[in-house]
Protein backbone atom coordinates (compact mmCIF):
# COMPACT_ATOMS: atom_id res chain seq x y z
CA UNK A 1 0.00 0.00 0.00
CA UNK A 2 2.87 2.37 0.85
CA UNK A 3 4.50 1.72 -2.52
CA UNK A 4 1.17 2.22 -4.29
CA UNK A 5 0.70 5.71 -2.86
CA UNK A 6 4.37 6.57 -3.35
CA UNK A 7 3.95 5.77 -7.04
CA UNK A 8 0.67 7.69 -7.07
CA UNK A 9 2.34 10.79 -5.62
CA UNK A 10 5.24 10.32 -8.03
CA UNK A 11 2.83 10.72 -10.92
CA UNK A 12 1.95 14.23 -9.75
CA UNK A 13 5.64 15.05 -9.22
CA UNK A 14 6.41 13.92 -12.77
CA UNK A 15 3.47 15.94 -14.07
CA UNK A 16 4.81 19.05 -12.34
CA UNK A 17 8.25 18.49 -13.88
CA UNK A 18 6.73 18.20 -17.34
CA UNK A 19 4.66 21.35 -16.82
CA UNK A 20 7.76 23.31 -15.79
CA UNK A 21 9.74 22.01 -18.75
CA UNK A 22 6.98 22.61 -21.33
CA UNK A 23 5.02 25.59 -19.97
CA UNK A 24 3.89 26.90 -23.35
CA UNK A 25 2.11 23.62 -24.14
CA UNK A 26 0.31 23.66 -20.81
CA UNK A 27 -0.59 27.35 -21.20
CA UNK A 28 -2.02 26.71 -24.67
CA UNK A 29 -4.22 23.88 -23.43
CA UNK A 30 -5.44 25.92 -20.44
CA UNK A 31 -6.25 28.87 -22.72
CA UNK A 32 -8.42 26.69 -24.97
CA UNK A 33 -10.17 25.25 -21.92
CA UNK A 34 -10.92 28.69 -20.46
CA UNK A 35 -12.24 30.07 -23.75
CA UNK A 36 -14.51 27.04 -24.09
CA UNK A 37 -15.86 27.59 -20.57
CA UNK A 38 -16.66 31.22 -21.41
CA UNK A 39 -18.62 30.00 -24.43
CA UNK A 40 -20.38 27.38 -22.28
CA UNK A 41 -21.52 30.05 -19.83
CA UNK A 42 -22.82 32.23 -22.66
CA UNK A 43 -24.70 29.39 -24.40
CA UNK A 44 -26.34 28.05 -21.22
CA UNK A 45 -24.28 24.87 -20.77
CA UNK A 46 -24.59 25.25 -16.98
CA UNK A 47 -28.31 26.06 -17.04
CA UNK A 48 -30.68 24.32 -14.65
CA UNK A 49 -32.96 23.61 -17.64
CA UNK A 50 -32.06 20.18 -19.15
CA UNK A 51 -33.27 21.21 -22.62
CA UNK A 52 -31.04 24.30 -22.60
CA UNK A 53 -28.06 22.24 -21.40
CA UNK A 54 -28.60 19.65 -24.12
CA UNK A 55 -28.78 22.28 -26.86
CA UNK A 56 -25.72 24.09 -25.48
CA UNK A 57 -23.69 20.87 -25.29
CA UNK A 58 -23.71 20.55 -29.09
CA UNK A 59 -23.47 24.26 -29.88
CA UNK A 60 -21.17 24.74 -32.92
CA UNK A 61 -18.94 27.28 -31.17
CA UNK A 62 -18.46 24.94 -28.21
CA UNK A 63 -17.66 21.96 -30.43
CA UNK A 64 -15.29 24.10 -32.51
CA UNK A 65 -13.09 24.44 -29.43
CA UNK A 66 -13.84 21.01 -27.96
CA UNK A 67 -11.92 19.03 -30.56
CA UNK A 68 -8.83 21.32 -30.59
CA UNK A 69 -8.82 21.00 -26.80
CA UNK A 70 -8.80 17.22 -27.01
CA UNK A 71 -6.03 17.18 -29.58
CA UNK A 72 -4.08 19.67 -27.45
CA UNK A 73 -4.44 17.29 -24.49
CA UNK A 74 -3.14 14.35 -26.51
CA UNK A 75 -0.32 16.53 -27.83
CA UNK A 76 0.64 17.60 -24.33
CA UNK A 77 0.67 13.96 -23.21
CA UNK A 78 2.88 13.10 -26.20
CA UNK A 79 5.52 15.71 -25.37
CA UNK A 80 5.25 15.14 -21.61
CA UNK A 81 5.97 11.41 -22.03
CA UNK A 82 8.91 12.20 -24.30
CA UNK A 83 10.31 14.63 -21.73
CA UNK A 84 9.87 12.27 -18.78
CA UNK A 85 11.54 9.37 -20.62
CA UNK A 86 14.30 11.31 -22.37
CA UNK A 87 14.93 13.73 -19.50
CA UNK A 88 15.51 16.75 -21.72
CA UNK A 89 13.00 19.29 -23.06
CA UNK A 90 15.02 19.88 -26.23
CA UNK A 91 15.15 16.18 -27.00
CA UNK A 92 11.43 15.88 -26.27
CA UNK A 93 10.69 18.50 -28.92
CA UNK A 94 12.93 16.89 -31.56
CA UNK A 95 10.40 14.32 -32.69
CA UNK A 96 11.45 11.58 -35.14
CA UNK A 97 9.05 10.64 -37.93
CA UNK A 98 8.54 7.17 -36.42
CA UNK A 99 7.19 8.70 -33.21
CA UNK A 100 4.64 10.77 -35.14
CA UNK A 101 3.50 7.70 -37.07
CA UNK A 102 3.26 5.41 -34.08
CA UNK A 103 1.55 7.95 -31.85
CA UNK A 104 -1.09 8.48 -34.52
CA UNK A 105 -2.34 5.00 -33.57
CA UNK A 106 -2.57 6.06 -29.92
CA UNK A 107 -4.58 9.16 -30.90
CA UNK A 108 -6.89 6.99 -33.00
CA UNK A 109 -7.45 4.70 -30.00
CA UNK A 110 -8.45 7.78 -27.96
CA UNK A 111 -10.46 9.35 -30.78
CA UNK A 112 -12.86 6.49 -31.53
CA UNK A 113 -14.38 6.28 -28.01
CA UNK A 114 -14.50 10.09 -27.82
CA UNK A 115 -16.50 10.23 -31.05
CA UNK A 116 -18.85 7.51 -29.81
CA UNK A 117 -19.41 9.25 -26.48
CA UNK A 118 -19.92 12.76 -27.87
CA UNK A 119 -22.00 11.78 -30.88
CA UNK A 120 -23.83 8.76 -29.42
CA UNK A 121 -27.27 10.12 -30.28
CA UNK A 122 -26.71 10.83 -34.01
CA UNK A 123 -24.74 7.57 -34.36
CA UNK A 124 -27.68 5.58 -32.96
CA UNK A 125 -30.08 7.46 -35.23
CA UNK A 126 -27.90 6.69 -38.28
CA UNK A 127 -27.95 2.99 -37.33
CA UNK A 128 -31.75 3.04 -37.12
CA UNK A 129 -31.89 2.65 -33.35
CA UNK A 130 -34.21 4.75 -31.21
CA UNK A 131 -31.94 7.46 -29.75
CA UNK A 132 -33.59 7.54 -26.32
CA UNK A 133 -31.85 8.42 -23.07
CA UNK A 134 -31.12 4.80 -22.11
CA UNK A 135 -29.52 3.67 -25.41
CA UNK A 136 -27.43 6.85 -25.55
CA UNK A 137 -26.23 6.35 -21.98
CA UNK A 138 -25.53 2.68 -22.77
CA UNK A 139 -23.27 3.60 -25.70
CA UNK A 140 -21.45 6.17 -23.62
CA UNK A 141 -20.94 3.75 -20.74
CA UNK A 142 -19.65 0.96 -22.99
CA UNK A 143 -17.14 3.14 -24.80
CA UNK A 144 -16.17 5.28 -21.82
CA UNK A 145 -15.71 2.44 -19.35
CA UNK A 146 -14.19 0.19 -22.02
CA UNK A 147 -11.53 2.77 -22.74
CA UNK A 148 -10.78 3.21 -19.03
CA UNK A 149 -10.40 -0.55 -18.57
CA UNK A 150 -8.17 -0.97 -21.63
CA UNK A 151 -5.80 1.94 -21.04
CA UNK A 152 -3.72 0.31 -18.26
CA UNK A 153 -2.94 -2.60 -20.59
CA UNK A 154 -1.70 -0.23 -23.29
CA UNK A 155 0.54 2.15 -21.35
CA UNK A 156 3.77 0.58 -22.62
CA UNK A 157 2.48 1.05 -26.16
CA UNK A 158 1.66 4.70 -25.45
CA UNK A 159 5.17 5.36 -24.12
CA UNK A 160 7.01 3.45 -26.85
CA UNK A 161 4.97 5.22 -29.52
CA UNK A 162 5.72 8.65 -28.05
CA UNK A 163 9.48 8.11 -27.93
CA UNK A 164 9.53 6.53 -31.38
CA UNK A 165 10.57 2.96 -30.66
CA UNK A 166 8.98 -0.29 -31.78
CA UNK A 167 9.48 -2.27 -28.57
CA UNK A 168 5.81 -2.57 -27.68
CA UNK A 169 2.64 -2.48 -29.73
CA UNK A 170 -0.83 -2.84 -28.20
CA UNK A 171 -0.72 -6.65 -27.91
CA UNK A 172 2.85 -6.79 -26.61
CA UNK A 173 2.02 -4.05 -24.11
CA UNK A 174 -0.99 -5.95 -22.78
CA UNK A 175 1.03 -9.17 -22.56
CA UNK A 176 3.92 -7.51 -20.71
CA UNK A 177 1.57 -5.75 -18.28
CA UNK A 178 0.08 -9.07 -17.17
CA UNK A 179 -0.83 -9.16 -13.50
CA UNK A 180 0.49 -5.61 -13.02
CA UNK A 181 -2.88 -4.62 -14.47
CA UNK A 182 -4.40 -5.26 -11.03
CA UNK A 183 -2.19 -2.51 -9.57
CA UNK A 184 -2.21 -0.13 -12.54
CA UNK A 185 -6.00 0.00 -12.97
CA UNK A 186 -6.78 1.28 -9.45
CA UNK A 187 -3.86 3.72 -9.72
CA UNK A 188 -5.33 5.17 -12.93
CA UNK A 189 -8.70 5.72 -11.24
CA UNK A 190 -7.21 7.09 -8.00
CA UNK A 191 -4.95 9.48 -9.93
CA UNK A 192 -7.92 10.87 -11.84
CA UNK A 193 -10.09 11.40 -8.76
CA UNK A 194 -8.80 14.92 -7.93
CA UNK A 195 -9.54 16.03 -11.50
CA UNK A 196 -12.97 14.39 -11.75
CA UNK A 197 -14.26 15.61 -8.40
Is pLDDT larger for residue 57 or for residue 77? 77
Instruction: Provide the domain limits for residue 113.
Output: 95-197
Residues 145 and 130 in one domain: yes
pLDDT digits (tens, 9 = 90+) for 16-59: 888 898 898 888 878 888 888 888 888 888 888 888 888 887 78
Last residue of a domain, one of 46, 69, 94: 94
Residues 29 and 117 in one domain: no
Q: Are 7 and 74 found together in one domain?
A: yes
3-state secondary structure 19-45: HHHCHHHHHHHHHHHHHHHHHHHHHCC
69 in Cβ contact with 33 (< 8 Å): yes
Question: Are 87 and 124 members of one domain?
Answer: no
pLDDT above 70 as % of the chain? 94
Give the pLDDT confidence of 135-145 residue by residue, as tens digits: 888 899 999 99
Q: Which residues contact 143 (CB under 8 A, 6 or more apart)?
A: 112, 113, 116, 117
Is 103's pLDDT higher than 80?
yes
Q: Same domain for 76 and 115?
A: no
Rounded to the nearest angstrom, the gap between the alpha carbon of residue 94 and the centroid of all alpha carbons in its chain is: 23
- Comparing 7 with 160, which gets the higher pLDDT? 160
Higher pLDDT, 9 or 174: 174
Do 109 and 64 sit in the same domain of this protein? no
- The residues, any chain, with a CB within 8 Å of residue 118's CB and separated by 6 or more, are 66
Return mean pLDDT, the chain.
Answer: 86
Q: Are residues 45 and 3 in the same domain?
A: yes
Question: pTM for the full model?
Answer: 0.80
Which pLDDT tens digit goes with each residue over 157-189? 999 999 999 889 999 999 999 988 988 888 877
59 and 132 assigned to the same domain:
no
Same domain? For 2 and 78 the reply is yes
Q: Which of 94, 111, 142 is the last residue of a domain?
A: 94
Amino acid sequence: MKRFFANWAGGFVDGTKAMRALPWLVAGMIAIELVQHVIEVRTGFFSTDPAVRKAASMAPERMALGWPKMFATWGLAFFAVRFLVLGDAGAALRVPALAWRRYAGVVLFQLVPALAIIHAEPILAALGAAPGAQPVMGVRLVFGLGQQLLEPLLLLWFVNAAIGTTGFGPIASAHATGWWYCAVLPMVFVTRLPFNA
